[in-house]
Each structure stands twice: as C-alpha cells, then as structure tokens.
Structure 1
Amino acid sequence: MSSTEILDSLQRLAQVLQVQRTLGGTLAGIAEAATSSIPGCDAASIAISIEGRPSTAAISARVALELDIVQYDTGDGPCLTSFRDTSTLRLDLVEAGHRFPHFAVAARRAGVRSVMSVPAVWQGAVVATLNLYSRTGPFDASAESIGAVLGAQVAMAVSRSPEFAAALGVVEHAQRKADDRADMDLATGLLMINEACTAEQAEGLLRHAAHTDERTIVEIAQRIIREHLRVR
C-alpha cells in the first residue's frame, strides 16, 4: 500500500468520525480503517476497559473476536499484555508461541501469522487496545506508526464518550465515598480513645457536632483528624 493510499484511508476515517455519534459506531469505523490502511492487516478489533476488564467493542472480521476471546479465557495474550504494560506488542507466530502458547495455537488454527496490539492511552491509563491480525506476514514499523495514530483516535473516542464519562464518574464517586468512610472511621476511633467511649457513642458525638456546627459529619471527622495531627 502506498503512502497516498494510506493517507486516503485516514482521510476516510476522519469523515467517519465526523458523522458517527455513538462510541460503538466510531470504534467500528476505526477497526475498518485499520484493516484498510495498515499494510498486512486482515482483521482488527478494539477492546475497551470495563470496570478494569477488557471487552471487545468493535471488530472488522470475526476472527479478531475469536482470538480476543481466547485471550480473555486464558488470561494471557498480546491484547492483555498491552493493557497491563502500556506498550505496543508486535509479534510473529514464533515469538507469540514462546510468550503466549495458548494464543499461538488458536492463531495458527485461524491462519493468523502475526499480531500487533496497540494501547490507547488517556491521561496515563490504557482505556482500550487496538488489536491487529495478519494472515500474510509480520507487521513492520510503518504498520506500527499507523497503528499508533489509530490508537490515539481510539483513546480520544473512548474518553469523549458519555459511557466513559459516566463510568469514570461512578468510579470517582465510589472512591470519594470510600475516602469519606475512612475519615469517619478514623475520627470515630480517635474519639473512642480521647473520650473513653464506645463506637456508638463516638458516632453520636460526630452527629451532634455536625448538627451544632452546621457541618457534614465528614467535615467534622476531617477536622478531628487535622486537630489530632497538629497535637502530634
């Protein structure tokens, strides 16, 4: 494939991204663009992270999904390693056989000769991987360069989606609740020691102080912790 053909494919991708309004449609467009623009790519998939676990969200051919599933079932493979290590993996079947024997067996049966997994990184975290499969031979450096461009498109698409924002909001809310609970537990423990009271009585003191000072219980707990640290 010439540089002009590659550029044409990327321009078509840009047009797809402009009209797509759903994450699924956008990722499907990127997967198709990978197959048409990356030399030697016969199938592509995009796996996104859902509650810390990868799940295939788009494919250009069924074989990509089948090989993704092999990795999920065995807990190992190029896609999962790219997720964990935040690095691009470019392997032929011999190399894959040494590192991922179960995956290599499945790839050989499917007629796949090489694989490349590209991490889609957003704010330092891998939110997805672009997984490329070839039946003709190993991917080269130019394929990796185009894959990196498409991986960046995947990261932007995922990060801008309402689904991702909602999931991120849930995680942040859960973390805030956990932090608040930890502050309340610590303040309760400090009151039990300082006031020689039970946990129930300490919680009552927190509620009373919150009502009197017109603050939340969490704010009172954090104030108690700060005062304790100053005394120390």
Structure 2
Amino acid sequence: MARSENQRSTEAEKALDHLGQRSLRELSMESLLQSMADLTKRVMPGDPEASVTLLIKDQPSTVVDTGPLALGLDEVQYERGDGPCLHTARNGVLVEIGDTRADSRWPDYARYVAEHGVLSMLAVPLLLAGEEQVAGSLNVYARRPDAFDEASRAVATGFAPYAAVAAGTVQAYRSARTTADNLQIALESRAVIEQAKGILIERHKLTPDQAFDALATVSMSRNVKVRDIAEHLVRTGELPLVRTRSSQSAARAVQQRDQ
C-alpha cells in the first residue's frame, strides 16, 4: 500500500532529524553521505534510486549511490559530457524531468533513461561553501512519471544542505590526502637525491652543485626522472652512461674517472 503524502512528509522530517544528529557524531563523512542517499531513496516517491555527483574542476564522479541503476545513469551523463545532473552541478539550479519519454532538453539521454525504467528525475544543486571549482548534485531517479510534487521537492532540497556539508568534507579530506601524499613523495624524492649526491661528493670530490648537475645531465640524456637516476645510483653504486658524446658536464667527468 502506497504511503500518503503526510506519512512521507513525517518520515522525511524524522530522516532530517536523524541526519542532523549523525552529522554531529559521525566520524566518516562517506558513511553520512551514504546514509543521506539511502534516506532519499526511502522517503522520496516513485520507487527511486539516488546518488550524489561531485564535479571537481569540471571532472564528475559519483561519490555515493543506492545501487547500480543510479550509478550507471550518472556515468552515462559523464561519458556524454552533459545531462540533467551535470547541468545542475555546473549551474547551481534544480532540474526536474517530469516524464523522460517526452523530454526535449536531453532527448537522447532521457530516452536511454526511460529504456532503463526511470520515468522521472530530480537533480538538486549542492552548494559547497568555500570550495572553488567544486560543485555537486543530489540525483533522484524515479520509476514513475511525474513522481515529484512540491512536498517531495521540499524534501529533496531539505536533504541538500546535509549532502553538501558531507560532500564538501569528503572532498576536503581527499584533497588534503592527495597533498599529503604528494608531499611525502616529494620528501622521499629529495631524500634519495641527497643520498645520491652524497655518494658522488664522497667518491669524486664534487661540490653539491656539481653532483646534482651530474644527476640532472644523465636524467636529461636518458629522458628519465632525476629521482630514478638517483635511486639507481644508490641501489647499484653506478651512474648510467650519458648517451650524447658532446656532453661536457660533471656527469661525463664522473664517468671518465670511473673508466
């Protein structure tokens, strides 16, 4: 038996309260975001599926979804480079398709969606405070035409701020992790290069600048990163030969001393 709008509205209010409580104590923002998608699926009409799209420097990805249908329909938009969810994320506007069998804005995509049993759609923008070049969309795929009314739109827009906070936190964490990983790689590269320079300085009485020039010359000659040349020297004790005979650099001087 279908739930009445009053029942659905009451359940939505309880869901919002639940989200508010979890947002204060939930350690995993991914988990909070998944809970939001699951609650959207549960309280929205039309037997829907839901997902959240993040658009980072115009590169889209689905961060959570309620099943393969929502994920697949998201990814078709990403492959095409356009669609209602991408339009919402890029322009910060709510998009609704009442009947995908009759949509004229994205007719090819809408036809594809209808063939997969989705007959109406709702995409709600996520406003990510303080996030430059990052936007998002809460996506609802309903299996019934004209599934959404004013009450259900209000429910979806009520969920959106929670989704935006969680999605923004997820993106901030990912960005910080990427920065940390890059910093670690940079530190490791610097360490191995310093080790290699030390070997050249001790073995051939070079200055630090001459030792780095030797590594850099081999790097450019062989089209290999300085770090890789340094790792090879530290691991084997050998500096690879410079390929060009015309090189008069410190690297060639080192190699001649070794012969």
* Short-chain TM bin: 0.5 to 0.7
Q: Which whole-Å CA distance do the structure 2 matches of 1:16 and 1:144 have between them?
A: 23
Are the aligned partners of 2:65 and 2:71 in contact in 1 as well (CA < 8 Å)? yes
Q: Does residue 1:152 correspond to 2:161, yes or no?
A: yes
Cα–Cα, structure 1 residues 46 and 94, in superposed 2: closer, same or farther, change >3 Å? closer
Cα deviation, residue 63, structure 1 = 0.7
Cα deviation for residue 60 of structure 1 reads 1.1
Cα RMSD after superposing both structures: 2.5
**In the alignment, residue 129 of structure 1 is paired with which amino acid?**
S
Equivalent in the alignment of 1:132: 140
Q: What SS is found at the alignment partner of 1:136? A: coil
| Structure 1 partner of 2:76 | 70
Gaps of 5+ in 1: 171-232
Aligned counterpart, 1:173:
none
1:27 deviates by 1.3
- State the TM-score, normalizing by the size of structure 1: 0.65
Check whether the contact 2:50–2:139 (CA below 8 A) recurs between aligned residues: yes
2:32 to 6, 26, 30: 26
CA contact (8 A) 1:43 1:133 kept: yes
How far apart, CA to CA, are the structure 2 residues paired with 1:164 and 1:116? Answer: 27
Distance in 2 separating the partners of 1:136 and 1:93: 8
Deviation at 1:103, TM superposition (A): 1.4
Q: Distance in 2 between matches of 1:7 and 1:72?
A: 33
Matched, 1:114 2:124: no
Q: Deviations over 1:44-103 (max 9, x none)?
A: 000112333120010112111111011011111101110122100011235763111221
CA distance in structure 2 between the partners assigned to 1:164 and 1:87 by the alignment: 26
Deviation at 1:43, TM superposition (A): 0.3
| Structure having the higher Rg | 2
Structure 2, gaps ≥5 residues long = 181-259
1:6 aligns with 2:12: yes
Give aligned-pair identity as a percent.
29
C-alpha change, 1:136 and 1:16, in structure 2 (3 Å) is: farther
CA distance 1:137–1:23, shift in 2 (3 Å): same
Give the Å deviation of 1:16. Answer: 4.0
Aligned residues: 170
Native 8 Å contact 2:49 2:70 kept in 1: yes
Determine helix, strand or coil for the equivalent of 2:108. Answer: helix
